Structure 1
């Protein structure tokens, strides 16, 4: 039985956007994408044109469908600066914070964590994935640690279906900067094949000797090559493992301090990246309890229902 279209959903990041025609049961009936990220275009007309490129045909065929977007499209550099929802924030608070530019989609607010004791932290887009994960996996709703690997990885404490606190690690961006714009990258071939053993070696270095400090340890991504203790083709994976290992070292400690020692740990994100995090977590003796692919479409559907844009039940 073919699902009935219910929603046009968009995940609009800094460098690209993805759009889905979503059924009432959460099925993806069609999808499209473009490289026109929220930080690459300016002005109302440019955003309207980019949206029409990926979703114009669906809007013409289904003019009654609500349109909902998440991500950096709601930032100060996006289409409309949508105020953050403050922690603790759940589905109801996010749905209440939706804002809409003329001719545009309803935009999901990001989330702000600011308890005055530490520097504030923010997310845009990940909150929608977390809502989707909670919708799909009831075991995460009472208490859980939801980890979203990526350019800016998020370690999130969920309690009673709300985002209570979270910590961002710039792991992916730091890897890109070090590889492309530092002395470390000079030894790293651009087309080197994957080296799982080098990745594990980097993870283990962070696990076993992280007290030496990341600024010191990352220099090994150069010295191991210079001294021929690792082939140059392995250095990029060693660096990746080292950075992810330091993230896990800090994140797992944060998880315990947050009182989540017995709560499920879930990975949410692209399968190849989640696979790397699974390997790293196993080296720390704490494998993930759940691994979920992109949950943003389910999150957008749940938020549309909570905002009254769709009926609560499938018609």
Structure 2
């Protein structure tokens, strides 16, 4: 175990989160800011970092590890992707130094399907952390978000993954299509309507047909606007699940915000698949594992 404190940072496209960790991985303090990479001017990452984390970094020997889009071409320093299969050792070996011994960036992962590349940045840290927290070294790890990731893990290695633009398609359909006139996007989750959408997605007619039902159900007064938002979400998530070999996976590990993992858990349960959920603790556990040569596994 490392004897230095760790400043763990998840620096995404639209937001930034940080946690101060003791050498044993205990969280001392957390912070969150709307300072994603798109808000940072070219050459301005050092100033933003020092403004937000100077106090945490002040004790001598403190190290910072940054995951997420800060390592992209649009970020602070580009950290080339680490190819699958990859585990803790492989990711750690590709960490890029910004200030040697002080600030470093985690590389992200890449995979290829039928000649087409697939990538993730930040999710790889969450998967590594989830393995530490659950003591699992094999299984299916699902990370809902704007671009959802389905990652297969075997013997502690991410053997491959696939990305689904479900969250982005939901935003496009609910805000910029004809469906936006029939949905109440301020409404909370309606579980019955959501599960109706999940069931409908498995009718063999495909997403392009089933999504139109969110308009016609409103047109014929078959479903109110407050429920249609959940119905459309169920259609999209159901379509995503329809492409997976779920029953061969056993228990699925969901990692993300409660609002999203709740929906995926409902959809998986409707398919007879068990799931457990993790949140931001997976990110901090993953960065701590990369920081510590021999991370201690803990049960959630």
TM-score (norm 1): 0.87
How many residues matched? Answer: 292
**Which residues in structure 2 correspond to 1:1-315 (within 5 Å)?**
6-44=5-43, 46-60=44-58, 62-102=59-99, 105-114=103-112, 117-138=114-135, 140-141=136-137, 143-207=138-202, 209=203, 211-251=204-244, 253=245, 261=248, 263-288=250-275, 290-294=276-280, 295-306=282-293
Q: CA deviation at 1:200?
A: 1.2
- Looking at structure 1, the residues matched to 187 and 175 of structure 2 have their Cα atoms a distance apart, in angstroms, of 14
Q: Contact 2:251–2:274 at 8 Å: present in 1 too? A: no
- Looking at structure 2, the residues matched to 58 and 50 of structure 1 have their Cα atoms a distance apart, in angstroms, of 14
- Looking at structure 1, the residues matched to 291 and 159 of structure 2 have their Cα atoms a distance apart, in angstroms, of 22
Q: Contact 1:74–1:82 at 8 Å: present in 2 too? A: yes
Structure 2 unmatched runs, 5+: none
Q: CA deviation at 1:102?
A: 4.6
Q: CA deviation at 1:262?
A: 5.2
- Looking at structure 2, the residues matched to 107 and 35 of structure 1 have their Cα atoms a distance apart, in angstroms, of 20
Q: CA deviation at 1:118?
A: 4.3
Structure 1 unmatched runs, 5+: none
TM-score (norm 2): 0.91
The list of structure 1 runs, each at least 4 consecutive aligned residues, that deviate by more than 6 angstroms after superposition, is none
- Alignment deviations for residues 159-189 of structure 1 (CA, whole Å, 9 cap, x no partner): 1111101011111111111111111111223
Q: CA deviation at 1:53?
A: 3.1
- Looking at structure 1, the residues matched to 213 and 73 of structure 2 have their Cα atoms a distance apart, in angstroms, of 38
What is the Cα-based RMSD across aligned positions, in Å? 1.9
Q: 1:191 to 1:272 in 2, by over 3 A?
A: closer
